[in-house]
Chains A and B, each alone.
Chain A
């Protein structure tokens, strides 16, 4: 079964050609590799290719089919693009991209202060909300000029990562 895998900004086409136990023949973007691959169900991989030993760990992201891959020195963002994912991508690219306007928490934390009210006009670069995490306070600013449509959180609330805090239009 072949499908595409997005790794950082590259999209690679992968296909399993043959298998003999843990010896796999796999094609990546036209290049054929013969690898000795063993892995655990929770994402630890040991791959030996041409005598070289690689340790890779896949950590599931907060959406299905999304992972962070850790190698010795680097991390990669991975998305598996199967038929369903392909459909969703196509549908999304036709709709409006509202997510860039909204202010979204990049990590879990606690709301220290909300500086805007619903109905306010906010200019790009103005601070809308202050979030604290691990003793450090961060200011979140509006990316574009806009009207504050909805404030979803109030002072003292705990927030998750990728939560929409303030909606702008």
Chain B
């Protein structure tokens, strides 16, 4: 097993070990601190089932909306040369680096009852996003869409333009080339982007709590439930966190071939 290039230098190995420990130790500590005997009761509790169901459904709805809106945007960014493309890409990526609470404040400024769009919508239809499940989906889409767009754009770029050109020589229009060539070629990247967006939506807390509030069954998603429970019952909060950890690990297993597989 000797590497012909020589031993790995300690200057790289030590920080690498520290990095691994930094990421693994807190999660391991959480698992170790969980009171396993109380776990089954926690898992059967009504608030947990309600919150988990809400989390899964809203994240899935958000991922579907990201697919419908994000896939075309990713294609436009990858394939169409237009002035200001890099500006659009930069603007679309902003929510990636935005603190989630700021995302919540921004959403409220736009879609709140007194918001830029929220007020006219309320007057016209009597509907407002805050405190509704649709509001939760909206904030999930806001935080997840950039992940989907950026990773799908990368997938489209990897499935280069020349395939579109080849399709065009065979008489395919752009729509046909998109459907029959680009999407199939980029499919693994599209799926990975969607799963990433879905996972991001599942963990979303800041924007949701700021914009939508917290009510069991309508807006109380898992992270909200964990945050509120933590204030009165640490053991229950740990058990709930463990459920989220399991869901995250499940997502990683789903992506294993892409990220965790050996190249």
Question: Real complex partners, A and B?
Answer: no
Q: List chain A positions with a Cβ less than 8 A from chain B.
A: none
